Structure 1
Amino acid sequence: MRILILGADGYLGWPTCMYFSQRGHDVVGIDNYFRRNAAIALDCEPLLPTPNLIQRAKIWEKITGKRINIHVGDATNYAFLLKIFKEYKPDTVVHYAEQPSAPYSMINQEKAAFTLQNNLISTLNIVYAVKEANRDCHIIKLGTMGEYGTPNIDIEEGWLEINHKGKKDKFLFPRQASSLYHTTKIQDTDMLWFYVRTWGIRVTDLMQGPVYGISTDEADRDSQLVPNFHYDEVFGTVLNRFVVQAVANYPLTVYGKGGQIRGYLNLKDTMQCVYLSATQPVKNGELRIFNQVTETFSVNELADKVCAVGNKLGYNVNINHIENPRKEKEEHYYNPKYTGLLELGLKPNYLTDDELTGIFRKVEQYKDQINRDAIFRGIKWSAETLSGTA
């Protein structure tokens, strides 16, 4: 396939570029370096320094002999994006090119407005570029399980059949986001569903849970190929944050009671899920939705796992229940269905003690680079703003 990866510099984007390239596909990656620049501005850069995309592509080509075409540009710039589509005519486009952080979207009006504009305009531009350059191009958009919220019923894979007053129909599963970021992801889904119905495009929407991990088979070939591993409150995912906190002798920051349950998956499994979706595409005029998780845990369960493994490795790991800065239920029912990707062939990497130990060992190599001030900033879901980041 000719595959276009938008947001190619990200935690998921760069490993996805390598994953497809390793398997013989023609890969084009674009990024505008938003996350790199935002991390510098907020003083929360990733744990491991990473070369820029052009440099990483050169390292990858030197090691493997395989070329990844890189373009630095912005998916919200339609002229730029359309030029890329017309030049490469991709069979598949993977849309990671969104502001990826719920906390970032809640800092202040400026960052909320950026999140809204970036996420929705980039999605709209992709739809129009597909229409104009290659109507059969399969759009794979990274959604989030956070779109669903925490309803008191089972979460189906995207759709819900309703019986009402003797009539039956199928609708998108009701959404109730917990942040502005998650709200834009809901709006993405609605927009794509509109254009699927109207123009007959084909879309797979992946409702992904929080991802953890630092290693993939491709990234492990060279330290300069590792993904952008964040551990801060803004861009870091919860398990990655907890491991770095344990190594840094920083009490694990459990929000509130810690009963919040979510679905999680290994970074390696994100690669699998996207690849399976791309190599088994949907038909034109179809919106396919998968819940992209492999296991569910409460925050307390994750903290306990990190404590148990960390203590075995010689760390004195403590847990600190702090006032929850977010607006979310801390005790709730949570039962998502996630069989679709398993049926396509997903072979999950589960969160075993050995897997967690591997993350600890990798973080240990860079423990002197941990910026303790970046770990927790107290971004609140209220009308308050984060001092010093406006």
Structure 2
Amino acid sequence: MKILIMGVDGYIGFPLALRLLTRGHDVYGIDNFITRKRVQKVGSDSALPISSFAFRNSVIKKKFGKGIGFFYGDATNPKFIYRVINEVRPDAIVHLAEQRSAPYSMIGLKEANETMVKNIVSTLNLIYAVKDITPEAHILKLGTMGEYGTPNIDIPEGFFEIEYHGRKDVLPFPRNASSWYHWTKVHDSNNLMFANKVWGTKVTDVMQGVVYGTRTEEIEKTGLYTRFDIDEVYGTALNRFTAEAIINEPITPYGKGGQTRGFLSLNDSIECLTLALENPPEFGEYRVFNQFDEKYSVNQLAEMVRDLYKEKFGKEPEIVHVDNPRVEKEEHYYNPEHEKLKALGYKRTKDIKSEIYDAIDDLNKFKERLMNLRNVIMPRTYWKKSAYNL
């Protein structure tokens, strides 16, 4: 297959490209390196050093015999997207080219507008380019389990059957996002559902849990890290906890630490996406996958990092709860379904503890780099203080 990855320089986009190349696909990529710039804007950098994309691609060509067909440009520019789709004529497009941080979207009005406009426009550009040029192409959009929020009932995969006033129907499960970023993902889902309804566009909408980890088989073969963020804007809780342990800072769960989410390893995220691409929907089909392996509370993550770090180095990091900068339920019911990928043959490859252990190993090699980033780890972006800062 010819597969186009929008956002190919990112945490998931880069290792996905490597995996697809090793499986014999022709891989093309779009990026304008905006994540690198946004991370610099908040005073941070990838905790694992990453080379320029041109250097990465030269290594890939030597290792695998062919590289990534790369296009530099902005997904919010419709002329650019139309040109790339027309030139490549992809069988599938993976849409990862969006502002991906909830805290960034909550900094203030400028960042909220940027997130809302760019994320929604990039998806609409893709929808129309596929409709007009390659209507048989499969769009795989990476969404988030955060679209659903934390309802007090089980979460289905996209749709559920409901009875109201004696009548039944199958409807999209209600979304209740917790940041401007998460709401853009909801709007993307709605727009893709509508495109499917009107034009029959083939869509896989992936509601992905929190991804963790530093390694895939291809990363180990090439020695090319993917990015790994630990700052309060772009890093996840598990990334932050691992870095805090290594630099001898307290591990800092937000609030009570009872927030529960679905998690899966980087390698398994790539495996799931590859499986979805190699088993595409039919024309006219819109499908939703909840993509995660296990669910954990923030407290459980903190305790795992503490215990694994102690096992490896003999030191026990302190766990210190800090004020929660977000507006969210800190104790709640959480039971999402996740069976559709298993029906396609997905099997977990790595458990969370071994993944944390590997991440500790990898990050410890760059302890000095982490020390230089220690000032951007603690929260500075507070939902209730989001400001007009044009």
TM-score under structure 1 normalisation?
0.97
RMSD over aligned Cα, in angstroms? Answer: 1.3
Alignment partners' CA distance in 1, 2:387 and 2:246: 29
1:41 deviates by 1.6
* Partner Cα separation in structure 1 for residue 21 and residue 133 of structure 2: 23
Which residue pairs with 1:66 in the alignment?
Answer: 66
Counterpart of 2:86 in structure 1: which amino acid? Answer: K
Change (3 A) 1:352 1:31: closer
The alignment status of 1:339 with 2:339, answered yes or no, reads yes
Cα distance in 1 for residues equivalent to 2:350 and 2:17: 23
Q: Deviations over 1:110-162 (max 9, x none)?
A: 11100001100000000001011100000000000000000000000110111
1:182 and 2:195 matched? no
Q: Is the 8 A contact 1:22 1:66 kept in 2?
A: no
Equivalent residue of 2:189, what SS? helix
Match of 2:229? 230
Aligned position for 1:361: 361
Contact 1:3 1:94 in 2 (8 A): yes
Cα deviation digits, residues 288-334 of structure 1 (max 9, x gap): 00000000000000011001101112233111101111000011000
Name stretches of at least 5 consecutive residues in structure 1 with no aligned partner. Answer: none
Match of 1:41 in 2: 41
SS class of match (1:252): coil
- Structure 1 residue 268 displacement after superposition: 0.4
- Give, in angstroms, the shift of residue 231 of structure 1: 1.0
Query: 2: distance between equivalents of 1:353 and 1:208?
Result: 20
Alignment of structure 1 residues 1-390 onto 2, 5 Å = 1-223=1-223, 225-314=224-313, 315-370=315-370, 371-385=373-387
Output the CA distance in 1 between the equivalents of 2:222 and 2:257: 37
1:352 Cα deviation (Å)? 4.4
Structure 2, unpaired ranges of 5+: none
Which amino acid in structure 2 is aligned with residue 181 of structure 1? Y
1:9 maps to amino acid: D
Give the AA of the match of 1:368.
E
8 Å CA contact 1:10–1:35 kept in 2: the answer is: yes
Cα deviation, residue 383, structure 1: 3.0
Contact 1:96 1:142 in 2 (8 A): yes
Deviation string, structure 1 residues 355-381 (Cα, Å, up to 9, x no partner): 321111111111110110121232101
SS at match of 1:49: coil
TM-score between the two structures when normalised by the length of structure 2: 0.97
Counterparts of 1:340 and 1:6 in 2: how far apart (Å)?
24
Inter-partner Cα distance in structure 1 for 2:351 and 2:109: 37
**SS of residue paired to 1:150:** coil
The structural deviation recorded for 1:54 is 2.1
| Aligned-partner Cα distance in 2 for 1:230–1:222 | 20
Following superposition, the deviation at residue 384 of structure 1 comes to 4.0
For 1:74 and 1:353, locate their aligned partners in 2 and report how far apart those are by CA, in whole Å: 38
Give the letter for the 1:310 counterpart. Answer: Y
Report the 3-state secondary structure (helix = DSSP H, G, I; strand = E; otherwise coil) of the residue aligned with 1:170: strand
Contact 1:294 1:350 in 2 (8 A): no
Matched to 2:259, the amino acid is Q
Distance in 1 of aligned mates of 2:342 and 2:237: 24
Per-residue deviation, 1:354:
2.9
Matched AA of 1:335: N
Residues 59-68 or 294-303, more deviating: 59-68
Q: State whether residues 265 and 352 of structure 2, in contact with CA within 8 Å, keep that contact through their aligned partners in structure 1.
A: no
Deviations for 1:177-225, whole angstroms, at most 9, x for unmatched residues?
A: 00010000000000110110011111000000110000011111233x2
